[in-house]
Amino acid sequence: VQLQASGGGLVQPGGSLRLSCAASGGPFSDYTMGWFRQAPGEERKFVAATTSSGRNTYYGDSLQGRFTITRDKGKNTMALQMNDLKPEDTANYYCAANRDSKTTGWGMILSRVEYWGQGTLVTVSS
């Protein structure tokens, strides 16, 4: 199983970026897919997730409204649209997947993630 993340880069405050994650190597019909991020010196934190059906989406603290997660089930891909980016959004962003049964009522838990993609760096700076 592989998760391939892409789309990071340098953006000015107030700008937008779109991250993508493509899953391969296994059936993902009952898997939640999502994103975590990790800033230097900090722990990895939950950002957003969407369940296999796409009906349920979850966001980390204070991110809903600026971030939007979407999923194309037929292609096993997921995207994170990030708008109005702030310097504090600077981090490595990791796509992640686990079975829906491991997803809580408010999102994904770090210890329950079954698959990780490589990080993609997002830098918000003027």
Which band of pLDDT confidence, cut at 50, 70 and 90, is reported for residue 89?
Answer: very high
pLDDT of residue 75: 76
Q: Does residue 120 contact residue 20 with C-beta atoms inside 8 Å?
A: no
Q: Does residue 23 contact residue 33 with C-beta atoms inside 8 Å?
A: yes
Contacts of 15 (CB under 8 A, 6+ apart): 85, 124
Q: Which of 19, 7, 98, 86 is nearest to 51 (CA)?
A: 98
pLDDT averaged over every residue in the chain: 94
Other Cβ atoms closer than 10 A to 9: 12
Q: Does residue 66 contact residue 83 with C-beta atoms inside 8 Å?
A: yes
